[in-house]
Amino acid sequence: MNKEHGEKLNEVREYMLDLEHLNQAIGLVYWDMRVGIPKKAIDSRSEVIGYLSGESYKIATSDKVKEFIDYFEGVNGLDDISSSMIENLKKEYEKTKKIPSDRHKEYTILASKSEVAWEEAKDKSDFEIFKPYLQKVVDFKDEFISYWGYDKNKYDTLLDFYEPSITVEKLDDIFGELRDGIVQLLEKINNSKVKPKDDFFKKEFSKESQEEFSKFVVEKLGYDFDAGRIDESVHPFTINFGNKDVRITTKYLTNEFRSALFSTIHEGGHAIYEQDIPDELNGTGLGTGVSMGIHESQSRFYENIIGRSKSFWKYFYPEAKKRFPQFEGVSLEEFYKGLNTVEPSLIRTEADELTYSLHVIIRYEIEKALINGKIKVEDLPRVWNEKYKEYLGVEASCDAEGVLQDMHWSDGSFGYFPSYALGNIYGAQFLNKMKKDMPNMYEEIEKGNFEYIHKWLSENIHKHGAVYKPADLIKMVTGEELTAKYFIEYLNKKYTEIYDL
């Protein structure tokens, strides 16, 4: 690479660093709004976020960025990080610039009103309240797709925001296979005589004892409290301001043992990913998880594949019993099975490991049809209920339990849902490779040596940040294209054992 290119790359990184600084401040203001802000300040703080976001937008779409992009047009021989940085810069710039700024502004206002309408509609369990807003959001998305363009399927353009390189064509295959696999397994489980108990999780557990135990567990898993902290919020989330400050939130239910613990482990998985991003990616725009799907693979890997495994509890259960006399008389086997009961249900966020993906696949199928005009906004409640009946055998008694349960559509996040199920699929495919690389991994988990798997994840996935596309990463790491087969195998093995199928 010639010297001039090197200098220009440094200039780009300096410029991007400013943007990262600003975005970190926005992130902190956002975190504070969800964790600690006094209630009278909410409106004025929204204006602060509005102002800062506007500045961030200006920096990301400035003439300077255009100049950088033009400079590197046709330049070859850059290292992986630099070429990915430039490519990413260009992609973001073009996506943003293609939307006329007045339409973008109108959409932002609509999205915020639509969120409020959704909240009211959910509270009153009345889809009609939300319908006109959702219609406008869908119309906007259609208009935006016309600016962005698409190849085979309009929905591909939206998927690309969350999972670059994933398409409807691929997802139809992968999700189709997964759906059939889960539905078959579910049928067997429904016919099984084994009905694990989980009533011992529904006793009283003080907030303090849950908090201490959750912190003890995530620290063991590799979460670094010198580069993060745990607070409470209404909805648990992970947020990071660089790789040195990755914060988790959780919510404690004093009548349920599993809720806060597994949500903390889940968010811990996201957080460990971000904490592991190397410093050298600062100022490249690539110093973060590569996609929503890969991010969910890390959170769900820690939450389910590790956190709901027997090996994990062989190590942690004695500690849990010491701290929680509520488990007196409950054997490890009973405890483990209690954590893995399967029960088709209406609410995605409360679903078990097996049925969770079906909730997601239903949303995928609906979004795809909606964006391509195969169904209309007014059809949503009906289609929703039909699919829940067909795949899960359950019926919502009202819209709040059905089509209104998630907020994702209210601000137009179509294309996001598939990430959740992709996370499961990626995770099991990674697991398959891990077991080959470390045949003794479960034995190490039983000994409490979580550094062993953490190091593997860090070396194979985390250290790359967003340098490689998800499709390239899975190939690099596992040697294969993405496939649902390992996740289906994993589920079959796990539940066959638990339910004696």
The residues annotated with a catalytic role in the active site are 267
Distance CA 99, CA 146 (A): 10
Of 122 and 270, which has the nearer Cβ to a second copy?
Answer: 270
Of 22 and 117, which has the nearer Cβ to a second copy?
Answer: 22
Of 33 and 394, which has the nearer Cβ to a second copy?
Answer: 33
Q: Name the residue type at position 149.
A: G
Output the CA–CA distances (angstroms, integers) from residue 376 to 326, 338, 370, in the order listed. Answer: 50, 41, 6
Task: State which of residues 105, 229, 389, 435 lies at the interface with a second copy (CB under 8 A).
Answer: 229
CB atoms near residue 186 (< 10 Å) = 20
* Subset of 54-83 contacting a second copy (CB under 8 A): 55
Of 24 and 167, which has the nearer Cβ to a second copy?
Answer: 24
Three-point CA angle 320, 322, 326, nearest 5°: 70
| Residue 474: both structure tokens together | 């899975």
Helix (H) / strand (E) containing 299: helix 292-300
Count of residues in contact with a second copy, rule CB under 8 A: 33
Q: How far is the CB of 53 from a second copy (least distance, A)?
A: 11
Q: How far is the CB of 227 from a second copy (least distance, A)?
A: 4
Of 49 and 347, which has the nearer Cβ to a second copy?
Answer: 49
Q: How far is the CB of 255 from a second copy (least distance, A)?
A: 24
3-state DSSP call for residue 250? strand
Of 272 and 425, which has the nearer Cβ to a second copy?
Answer: 272
Task: State which of residues 11, 34, 37, 332 lies at the interface with a second copy (CB under 8 A).
Answer: 37
8 Å CB contact between 199 and 335? no
Q: Annotated binding residue at 296?
A: yes
Task: State which of residues 73, 199, 226, 500 lies at the interface with a second copy (CB under 8 A).
Answer: 226
Task: State which of residues 75, 227, 347, 438 lies at the interface with a second copy (CB under 8 A).
Answer: 227
Distance CA 187, CA 190 (A): 5
Output the CA–CA distances (angstroms, integers) from residue 340 to 277, 352, 496, in the order listed. Answer: 32, 7, 12
Of 24 and 125, which has the nearer Cβ to a second copy?
Answer: 24
CB atoms near residue 325 (< 10 Å) = 8
Q: How far is the CB of 28 from a second copy (least distance, A)?
A: 6
Distance CA 195, CA 338 (A): 9
Task: State which of residues 38, 74, 149, 329 lies at the interface with a second copy (CB under 8 A).
Answer: 38
For 375-440, the DSSP string reads: S-GGGHHHHHHHHIIIII----SSGGGTTTS-STTTTT-TT-THHHHHHHHHHHHHHHHHHHH-TT
Where does residue 24 rank: exposed (0-12), middle (13-18), buried (19+ CB within 10 A)? middle
Q: How far is the CB of 40 from a second copy (least distance, A)?
A: 4
Q: How far is the CB of 58 from a second copy (least distance, A)?
A: 11
Phi, psi of 232 (to 5 degrees): -105, 145
Q: Annotated binding residue at 212?
A: no
* Subset of 131-160 contacting a second copy (CB under 8 A): none
Task: State which of residues 11, 13, 48, 56 lies at the interface with a second copy (CB under 8 A).
Answer: 48
For residues 262, 268, 269, 270, the Cα torsion angle rounded to the nearest 10 degrees is 120
CB atoms near residue 261 (< 10 Å) = 25
Of 59 and 394, which has the nearer Cβ to a second copy?
Answer: 59
Residue 36 in contact with a second copy, rule: CB under 8 A: yes
For 118-187, the DSSP string reads: HHHHHHHT-HHHHHHHHHHHHHHHHHHHHHH--SS-HHHHHHHHHSTT--HHHHHHHHHHHHHHHHHHHH
Three-point CA angle 47, 53, 55, nearest 5°: 110
Q: Annotated binding residue at 328?
A: no
Task: State which of residues 5, 11, 34, 52 lies at the interface with a second copy (CB under 8 A).
Answer: 52
* Subset of 235-274 contacting a second copy (CB under 8 A): 241-242, 244-245
Distance CA 43, CA 28 (A): 16
Q: How far is the CB of 108 from a second copy (least distance, A)?
A: 17
Query: Quick one: DSSP state of residue 88?
Result: H
Output the CA–CA distances (angstroms, integers) from residue 59 to 25, 29, 71, in the order listed. Answer: 14, 19, 18
Q: How far is the CB of 245 from a second copy (least distance, A)?
A: 4
* Subset of 15-34 contacting a second copy (CB under 8 A): 18, 21-22, 24-26, 28-29, 32
Distance CA 476, CA 468 (A): 9
8 Å CB contact between 474 and 429? yes
Task: State which of residues 2, 3, 47, 152 lies at the interface with a second copy (CB under 8 A).
Answer: 47
Task: State which of residues 34, 45, 348, 455 lies at the interface with a second copy (CB under 8 A).
Answer: 45
Q: How far is the CB of 105 from a second copy (least distance, A)?
A: 17
Of 243 and 304, which has the nearer Cβ to a second copy?
Answer: 243
Q: Which residues are annotated as a binding site for Zn(2+)?
A: 266, 270, 296
Binding site for a second copy (CB under 8 A): 18, 21-22, 24-26, 28-29, 32, 36-41, 43-45, 47-48, 51-52, 55, 224-229, 241-242, 244-245
Residues in binding site? 266, 270, 296
